[in-house]
Amino acid sequence: MAKIICVANQKGGVGKTTTAINLAAGLAKAGKTTLVIDIDPQCNATSGLGVEPALRHPLVAGKPLAESITQTTQPRLSVLPGSQSLADADALSASNRQRASSMRHQLTNELSNFDYIFLDCPPSLGQLTRAALGAANEVYIPIQCEYFAMEGLSQIIELARQTKAKDNHRLEIGGLILTMYDPALELANEVANEVRGYFEGTVFNTLIPRDVSISEAPSHGVSVLDYSPRARGAWAYSELVMEVIDRE
């Protein structure tokens, strides 16, 4: 049975898609069969793994999902590509509870051969994110180590709790991931300490650093672990992968 992880934060630019891509790639390198499902109409997770967006989103195209899965250049890492179609975005967003139930059924029954499935969400608390939360086992929340890190964080945590109570009793907050960390900045250390102090054991130990290699990798259609395996960012995501596996 696949573990379905929703990667979400209503704030943009916090490393959400980057985290989904690199965690999935790292788990695949660790021998886990892994799938990234792109439900963000921007399709950054799709292009960031070297795959073309679909004309119709596979989740609403009416075909078996297996027919739309695309294998990346990395073994054991696949993508269910996103679609830039506004009509498909509307279809995915329609009737939150019904969409979440349908998505959960699709993922559980059609994609059970994967070890991990990552749902990359748009930067909002809209219906797409709500449907993904309704279909997932866990939610990972990337947090940027900057001044407004805590802003709005309580909203997505509260949404996850509401979803667990009303629609998806198996949903858990799998962890908070501190991203774009610069140890030379006093503010970054203050933010990291504040988040750890407030959320205690919910925060992953690994700090994802600011690293130009992380930013460059998507333009080459690969993860930072393939683009620059000796980079600080690649080492950090490898450590985060080990934390994820240890929590199995």
For helices 232-246 and 16-29, give the axis angle rounded to 10 degrees: 70
The one-letter amino acid code at 153 reads L
Residue ranges of the domains in the chain? Answer: 3-246
Token pair 């030379």 is found at 184
One-letter-per-residue 3-state SS of 42-97: CCHHHHHCCCCCECCCCCCCCCCHHHHCEECCCCCEEEECCECCHHHHHHHHCCHH
What is the pLDDT at residue 99?
Answer: 65
Contacts of 218 (CB under 8 A, 6+ apart): 17, 18, 21, 44, 47, 48
pLDDT for the residue 246: 95
Predicted local distance difference test score (pLDDT) of residue 186: 93
| Structural tokens at position 127 | 């219906």
- Amino acid (1-letter code) at residue 108: T
**Under a CB-based contact definition with an 8 Å cutoff, are residues 165 and 157 in contact?**
no
- pLDDT of 104 reads 81
pLDDT under 50 in the chain at which residues?
none
Q: Domain 3-246 classified CATH 3.40.190.10?
A: no
What's the pLDDT tens digit per position in 193-229?
A: 999 998 888 999 999 999 999 999 999 999 999 999 9
The answer to whether 110 touches 78, Cβ cutoff 8 Å, is no
Claim: this prediction has a pTM higher than 0.85: yes
Q: What tokens were used for 243?
A: 């934390």
Report the pLDDT value the prediction gives residue 70, as an integer from 0 to 100: 97
d(CA 47, CA 54): 11
Say whether 237 sits in a helix, a strand or coil.
helix
The SS3 call for residue 179 is strand
Q: What are the tokens at 228?
A: 């620059």
